[in-house]
A = this chain, B = another copy of it.
């Protein structure tokens, strides 16, 4: 099971920035292409007051800062150039992370979605939406929020597909702002099934693909969760992708590239579970030969060796 999609983590939330310019991004897309990536997903179009594109709405109505470059434009052009599909990630005010309540993010994103499609919808590579609000089972008002935003995406873009990438509330679902790598209380497979059955039932008309993050459960438990997620998605007519994380959640240093053996393990589990596509968070820091972390380039080499066999 090869990785054919990656997030673009340009608005840095908890991964330090690489300070690339247009030239470095172009070279990075070339490396992606070589490894078989056909889909790039902007992780978020803005975070708090920093933006990836000069949104008149966010600048004028939400007090955001003028960005020095238009990255959405750059990514769309590079996606055109390399024959990739670009998914636009919604805006994240940061309030949801503080409160756990998704409703804060609805209104502003109804505007953002409309605005963005007007400006960039004509690009050939503009191929879908990513709802950047990472939900889990305890997210307040998740169904309502996802439904409203997914519907808006589809309404303005004549039905382009909508992707979400939730997390499993497993033993490794700890905050980045702690050095812990595990927690004691975590969800059981049964609770996960019951709760996500409800969530999928609520959002199934507004979302197309679900790519659970694969780094929050023990390696030995992952395949069970992947199979369950696939079954739940099938039941509700959703498409099951895996978000195979390429950073290592088991280390006190947050976050560096994952060990190749672990990534391969997760991809093979996803294959057996029948996932339709593997994407990763994310190529440019954790798998790219251009990454500031040289471990990433070695991971790329191991990956290429394996899949060229």
Stretch at the interface among A144-152, A157-165, A205-213, A292-300: A292-300
Determine the distance from Cα of A65 to Cα of B12 in the docked complex, in whole angstroms. 34
- Measured between beta carbons, the chain B residues less than 8 angstroms from A295 are 16-19, 292
**Which of A17, A176, A255, A299 has most chain B Cβ within 10 Å?**
A17
5 example contacts (A-B, Cβ-Cβ < 8 A) are as follows: A65-B219, A68-B260, A177-B179, A253-B254, A292-B295
Q: Mark A247-279, 1 if CB is under 8 A from B, else 0.
A: 010111111111111101100000000000000
Which residue of the partner chain, among B18, B177, B219, B261, contacts A68 with CB atoms under 8 Å? B261
State the main secondary structure of chain A at its contact with B. loop
A178 at interface (Cβ–Cβ under 8 A)?
Answer: yes
Inter-chain contact A177/B298, CB cutoff 8 Å? no
Inter-chain contact A12/B259, CB cutoff 8 Å? yes
Known: A248-B16, A253-B254, A254-B252. A298 touches B68 (CB 8 A): no
Smallest beta-carbon distance A99→chain B, Å: 15
A50 at interface (Cβ–Cβ under 8 A)?
Answer: yes
This chain's copy number in the assembly: 3
Inter-chain contact A259/B219, CB cutoff 8 Å? no
Determine the distance from Cα of A305 to Cα of B299 in the docked complex, in whole angstroms. 31
Inter-chain contact A219/B49, CB cutoff 8 Å? yes
Determine the distance from Cα of A295 to Cα of B259 in the docked complex, in whole angstroms. 21
Chain A, 285-303, CB within 8 A of any chain B CB: 292-295, 298-299, 301-302
Task: Count chain A residues whose beta carbon lies closer than 8 angstroms to a beta carbon of B.
Answer: 50
Residue of B nearest to A290 (CB): B294
- Measured between beta carbons, the chain B residues less than 8 angstroms from A235 are none
Q: Mark A92-119, 1 if CB is under 8 A from B, else 0.
A: 0000000000000000000000000000
Inter-chain contact B259/A17, CB cutoff 8 Å? yes
Inter-chain contact A264/B68, CB cutoff 8 Å? yes
- Measured between beta carbons, the chain B residues less than 8 angstroms from A30 are none
Which residue of the partner chain, among B220, B254, B265, B298, contacts A20 with CB atoms under 8 Å? B298
- Measured between beta carbons, the chain B residues less than 8 angstroms from A49 are 219-220
Smallest beta-carbon distance A10→chain B, Å: 10
Inter-chain contact A17/B258, CB cutoff 8 Å? yes
Determine the distance from Cα of A294 to Cα of B142 in the docked complex, in whole angstroms. 39
Q: Mark A1-44, 1 if CB is under 8 A from B, else 0.
A: 00000000000101111111100100000000000000000000
- Measured between beta carbons, the chain B residues less than 8 angstroms from A179 are 176-179, 254
Determine the distance from Cα of A251 to Cα of B258 in the docked complex, in whole angstroms. 19
Smallest beta-carbon distance A43→chain B, Å: 14
